[in-house]
Amino acid sequence: MSNVVRLDEAEKVLFRDSVNKFLAVEVEPYFDQWEKDEIFPRDIWRKLGESGFLCVDMPSEYGGFDAPFELSCIVVEEVSRAGYGSLASSLSVHSDIVAPYILNLGTDAQKERWIPKMITGEFVGSIGMTEPGAGSDLQGMRTSAIKDGDEYIINGQKTFITNGQHADLIILAAKTDPKLGAKGITLFVVDCHIAGYEKGRNLEKMGLHSGDTSEVFFSDIRVPADEILGGEGKGFYNLMNELPRERLILGVSGVAAAEGMFGWTVEYTKERKAFGSAISSFQNTRFVLAEIKTNLELNKALVEKYVAKFMAGNLTSAEASICKLAATEMQCKVADQCLQLFGGYGYMREYKISRAYVDSRVQRIYGGTSEIMKELISRSIVGR
């Protein structure tokens, strides 16, 4: 966007500090209870919006701040670094997937209807692609949208929907022409409060316990034709075009989460004693920390390079896949290495490292599995 405000480093530091102050007051005192409740409260979205931490790079004409993408990265970085993986995941979907889809693909009416209230936190966004029988293979989806006059009648179900319980809108992928395969998929912006839309149970997960992840069902819901997002039959193409930002932000969060784990571990190894000495004095500990630091720096440099390319408008799908693959695989390895250095205490839920360990695992699955990332990267090298 030509009207994006460029910020200097001092302004970025101030913004980063403001995010951390918000987390210290509004999240840290309550997060353990949210994890036990297995959902964080709906009002955190309003608080995030009031503080200016939602959809920060949206245009001012819709109530945004015309900020650079870097500020959206800072929000996700600080939430991830602090160990709030479930909140980082929900924020990413809302601000870095749903809002950009509407901004980049939507009509003026759609942008004016949805984006301003997403910025304030009045509306929460979600995206519906995955089905019980169709995950990475989006062409296998069964949710149908049948044209009926000026409306489409949609039937089907989706699963693993981040923000599914809190959502006010969902970007829904459905088949408008099953015979056309990928060319028969269309995206819709659907109001989650219309008749026939049912929110299923909040799913119990291995990690991201306070994250809102749900099943949703559609029974003869009627959606106006003017809520098609990006053109009929162009859903698969639009999904592929929008995925690079999603995968890039997962790389951003992966590196930041690993930095958080590393910081806790360095501090712990200096304090924890064994055989009369701090375990940070043992060669094995020092070598593991050195390896983690090296991998962190390598991945951080890669993420920074690709963030710059994205902001310049020339990040490729293969590069986004490289970023996501490298950073999330590294994150999981660091989680394992750090937990090991905590020893038995690392296995206790009272220590943040145990939560970070289970939270990290899904990073290699959602947004495209590591195996899918490798396939996409290989296609850019040798073709299909």
> 12: how many CB neighbours lie within 10 A of its CB?
15
284 phi and psi angles, rounded to 5 deg: -60, -45
375 is catalytic: no
**CA 248-384-100 angle, 5° bins:** 25
Q: Which of 246, 267, 297, 371 is catalytic?
A: 246
Whether the CB-CB separation of 252 and 73 falls below 8 Å is answered with yes
Spatial separation of the C-alpha atoms in residues 85 and 69, rounded to whole Å: 20
Give the C-alpha separation, 214 to 127, whole Å: 11
- For residue 175, give the 3-state DSSP assignment: strand
Total Cβ atoms within 10 A of residue 270? 13
Distances (CA, A) of 108 to 102, 105, 121, 171, 227: 10, 10, 20, 16, 11
Strand, coil or helix: 276: coil
Rg (CA), the chain: 21
DSSP state of 134: B
Query: Could you give the residue numbers annotated as active site?
Result: 246
